[in-house]
Amino acid sequence: MQDINVVELKDDIELQEPILVVGLPGVGHVGKLVAEHLVEELKAEKVIEIYSKHFPPQAIVDDKSEVRLVNNEIYTCSTDKNDLVILVGDHQSSTGEGHYQLCDTYLDIAEEYGVKTIYTLGGFPTGQLTHTDEVLGAVNNIDMIEGLKEAGVEFKPNEPGGGIVGASGLLLGVSKFRKMNAACLMGLTSGYLVDPKSAQSLLRVICKIFDIEIDEGPLEERAKEMEKIVARLKEVEQQQQGIPEPSMSEEDLRYIG
């Protein structure tokens, strides 16, 4: 077995103005939820499976008790404006080196498909259980900013302060060398829980960018379940909170490193 195994399920893929959308597991699984929702609602077709030693040594069990190796998958579909290439997966790389190698693999495939623009989807951890609709953006080419602002994306200098870690960040950085435009769109989320509500906010922004309409129903339902859990968590939190400790302001913490 090689380090990375790209299994092509379909030959001769021809795409019109294809855009790569990346939604791998990460903070609040926001990006993964949105990308998987797109795959389902747009009836995208699976064209590639990616296996790698850099994924955890693990098999996933489906609802029929059948297993498959953890992987990343690439789907394609058409919309009025663009064809979409959607990258989803069970895991990101479990090694730093693997992140760089997988990123190169993703971009090799994207280039072969003629992709010129990339959107990586993720979550931005706020540490707060209170929901906000905000979607934060970062780009590898400032020319993209105006258009994204019109779609409702917000931009804040130097945010996220800790940089963008994992495939979402790496794809922006590396695709720059390949003259591809790439933006990372992050739904704000607590960082503690799977967050379908943040995914809904991010989905709306994506729909504006791609000029498409998508049924939010399934995400809506999961969001409602989640709200009940959050309510209970807040209760627990209140019960456990005694007298607050003397604490540093966020401003202060920025200097601790």
Interactions with a second copy, residue window 64-93 (CB under 8 A): 64-70, 93
- Rounded Cα distance between 193 and 64, Å, is 27
Q: Is 63 in the site for a second copy (CB under 8 A)?
A: yes
Least spacing, CB of residue 30 vs a second copy, in Å: 11
Q: Is 140 in the site for a second copy (CB under 8 A)?
A: yes
Residues 197-226 that bind a second copy (CB under 8 A): 225-226
Least spacing, CB of residue 52 vs a second copy, in Å: 8
Contacts with a second copy, 35-54, as mask; x by CB under 8 A = ------------------xx
Q: Who's near 40: CB < 8 A, 6+ residues apart?
A: 218
Q: Who's near 192: CB < 8 A, 6+ residues apart?
A: 129, 233
Nearer to a second copy, 12 or 61 (CB): 61
> Does a cis peptide bond (omega within 30 degrees of 0) precede residue 218?
no
**Residue 128 identity:** Q
Q: Is 142 in the site for a second copy (CB under 8 A)?
A: yes
Nearer to a second copy, 17 or 100 (CB): 100
43 is written with which tokens? 């009836």
Among 38, 184, 185, 188, binds a second copy (CB under 8 A): 184
- Rounded Cα distance between 99 and 169, Å, is 10
| DSSP label of 53 | T
> Which range binds a second copy by CB under 8 A, 8-16, 123-131, 198-206, 229-237?
229-237
Question: Between the CA of residue 249 and those of 129, 246, 257, what are the distances in Å?
Answer: 18, 10, 15
- Rounded Cα distance between 132 and 201, Å, is 9
Least spacing, CB of residue 78 vs a second copy, in Å: 29
Q: Who's near 210: CB < 8 A, 6+ residues apart?
A: 19, 79, 81, 82, 84
Q: Is 242 in the site for a second copy (CB under 8 A)?
A: no
Nearer to a second copy, 47 or 184 (CB): 184
Evaluate the CA torsion angle 86, 92, 98, 100 in order and state its sign: positive
Q: Is 233 in the site for a second copy (CB under 8 A)?
A: yes
Least spacing, CB of residue 208 vs a second copy, in Å: 18
Nearer to a second copy, 42 or 184 (CB): 184
Nearer to a second copy, 145 or 207 (CB): 145
Q: Is 122 in the site for a second copy (CB under 8 A)?
A: no
Among 46, 116, 176, 208, binds a second copy (CB under 8 A): 176
Q: Is residue 103 within 8 Å of residue 8, measured between CB atoms? A: no
